[in-house]
Structure 1
Amino acid sequence: MLTRALDLFYRAAGALAGVFLVAIAVVVTAQIVARLMGRIVPSADEFGGFCLAATSFLGLAYAFRDGSHIRVTLLVHHTKGWLRQGLTILALAIATAITSIFAWHTAKMALQSFTRNEVTAGLVPLPLWLPQLAMAVGVVLFALAVFEDLVRALLGRDPVFASGEHDPRGTENPAADTH
């Protein structure tokens, strides 16, 4: 049940990442049209960068769950059983530690920007915590997704990300033979 609830958050963040990707196209198009008319869109580059950060970070958890992240699996794909399960657990434990630290500091940064009333340095002053919030939410969801797969692996179940991967040996799910 918790997996389904979290999956809704991951999908919503993935959809929001898509919205920000479209926003990048809108900002770039607006800037092109404005330049053709001898004008500029104030802070267009800055807003495009904020949208890029939002789409990148908000898409992390969704892409991880889908098995779309690039992973180096040369060693894991040549192992079976308990060794494969152990390597998966080790990788997920390290990833959980790294993403958790990153999530903590990113959320702390956004909160500090909010409490200090910091604004962006561009032509259009925007509260700095707004673009940082998208980063923080994305990294927190990513850390949750990695932690959830770690718990699944510790319980002897296949990580969710593995369902989207292809094993070079031809099996659809490389984690399927971990038991």
Structure 2
Amino acid sequence: MSHQSTPVGQGIDSYQGGLRGYLRLQQIALEVAVVIMALLVTTEVVCRSVFGFSLHITEEIGGYLLVAVVFLGMPITLAEGSLFRVEFVMSRLRLRGQTWLMLLFNAMSLAVAALLNWQLIGLVRESWQRGINAPTVLGTPLYLPQIVMVVGMSSVMIVLLVQICRGITLLQKGEGR
């Protein structure tokens, strides 16, 4: 059961030009990451089973790609309204109650996302300043995959702000009394 009239679940196409394009770009990036991850794992399996050697980078790059998929996927699923919701509660509320509940949820989520993003930015800054590299064959500077986490969390915050504005607009219009 889906409640399309609430300020969530309207999809990426319901967002304005620049933000819609930005979210589409993130979606393409995470789709490419999934394909690369699948190809990398397949190549590793073939190399180990057929040729008897390992690439020694599959686990590291796969981990970085997984971080990219998770953090770039969060704003997409939020914009699409594909996150978990307690439908048995939402279905018992009128549109106005659903809108208030989602507004409260989005405001609390925004506060948590802002706190998390602040901590992630500090992590990136510390990794950059201290020159921390992964203790692996590639020796990847850790601020690189950490930046993806900041980008993804910043996008989550933008989507939450848009949804909060939509909820306030719905309430101001007096819809769903």
**Aligned residue among 96, 107, 129 for 1:93:** 107
Alpha-carbon displacement from aligned partner over 1:70-94 (angstroms, at most 9, x marks no partner): 2223222211143222212111111
Map 1:106-125; keep pairs closer than 5 Å: 106-125=120-139
Kindly report which structure 2 residues correspond to 1:65-84, keeping only aligned pairs within 5 A, or say none.
65-84=79-98
Q: For 1:83 and 1:7, locate their aligned partners in 2 and report how far apart those are by CA, in whole Å.
A: 28
Matching of residue 52 in structure 1 with residue 52 in structure 2: no
Task: Give unmatched runs, 5+ long, in structure 1.
Answer: 158-176
* TM-score normalised by structure 1 residue count: 0.81
Q: Considering only aligned residues, what root-mean-square deviation do their CA atoms show, in Å?
A: 1.8
- Using the alignment, how far apart are the partners of 1:80 and 1:112 within structure 2? 48
Q: Are residue 19 (structure 1) and residue 25 (structure 2) matched?
A: no
| 1:134-153 equivalences in 2 (<5 Å) | 134-153=148-167
TM-score (norm. length: structure 2): 0.82
Question: What is the percent sequence identity of the aligned residues?
Answer: 24
Residue of structure 1 in register with 2:45 after alignment: 32
Q: Of the two structures, which has the highest relative contact order with CA contacts closer than 8 Å and spacing of 6 or more?
A: 2
The alignment of Structure 1 onto Structure 2 pairs a total of residues equal to 159
**Structure 2 gap ranges (5+):** 1-14
The residue aligned with 1:131 is: 145
- Work out the CA distance in 2 between the residues paired with 1:108 and 1:58: 19
